[in-house]
Amino acid sequence: MRVVHAGGLEGARSAGGTVVVIDVLRAFTVSAYALAGGAAECRLVAEVDEARALAARLPGAIVSAEVEGLPVPGIAISNSPTMIRDLDLRGRVLVQRSSSGTQCVVAAGRAERLYAAGLVVARATATTIREAAPEVVTLVASGADRGHSEDRACADYLEAMLSGRRCDLEQLLRPLRKSPRHAELMAGGWPGFPASDLELALAADRFDFAMPVSRDELGVRLTAATL
């Protein structure tokens, strides 16, 4: 198995083999908490108008959206795992739009197999991929072009598990924890981003399912595949 790293939208577009798109803060942490809370599936879109239109076609669907990390007027859920965790999502569909993660998944058209991931499903994702034994795995740190070091940390963590190596996740996360961005988020200084989102997003291996992505007549579909 050969592991390749890529970053951002351009990296997603060119990614081949089995592709894992990573967004720790916060899109695919939101997906994981939604699925763990009983959501039937997550639908990923590139634009806010797409999210609204798709949700209108799906009875009981809920929209989670942000633009450049900020809440969208008229949409109550702003890409926050805290908000998602506190909802009753049993049997419902979550439609997601984010500025990094969902964009990269939509763009990853060359993938032979495609997964979305964050730290909360990292080990389950690595285990699922190792069992399939693909020749090439491309790890796309979706926020790398925005300076989001947690996505690269998750990619390095996944690579270590795929390769059967041990690694120190706290050391990998040190650049995030020492950054002004982390301090601002911990202080609750970002609209629509409660400080509790950090704790939820950095809870590595919390869930025992991977999140495979498929495409159908409605677009991009993300589900839970339990080990």
Q: What share of the chain is helix, strand, coil (3-state, %, to 5)?
A: 40, 25, 35
What values do phi and psi take at 203, rounded to 5?
Answer: -80, 85
Tell me the pLDDT tens digit for each residue of 16-26. Answer: 999 999 999 99
Q: Is the N-terminal amide bond of 26 cis, ω within 30° of 0?
A: yes
pLDDT of residue 145: 85
For residue 108, what is the domain's CATH number? 3.90.1560.10
Give the chain's domain count.
1
Q: Which of 5, 10, 191 is nearest to 83 (CA)?
A: 191
Which residues, other chains included, contact 83 with Cβ-Cβ below 8 Å and sequence gap of 6+? Answer: 64, 76, 77, 194
Share of the chain above pLDDT 70, in %: 100
Q: Is the pLDDT of residue 56 over 90?
A: yes
pLDDT of residue 52: 98
Share of the chain above pLDDT 90, in %: 96
Beta strands in the chain (DSSP E): 2-7, 18-22, 41-45, 62-67, 70-71, 93-97, 113-117, 136-141, 209-216, 219-222, 225-226
Boundaries of domain holding 215 = 2-226
Tell me the pLDDT tens digit for each residue of 136-181. Answer: 999 999 998 888 999 999 999 999 999 999 999 999 999 999 999 9
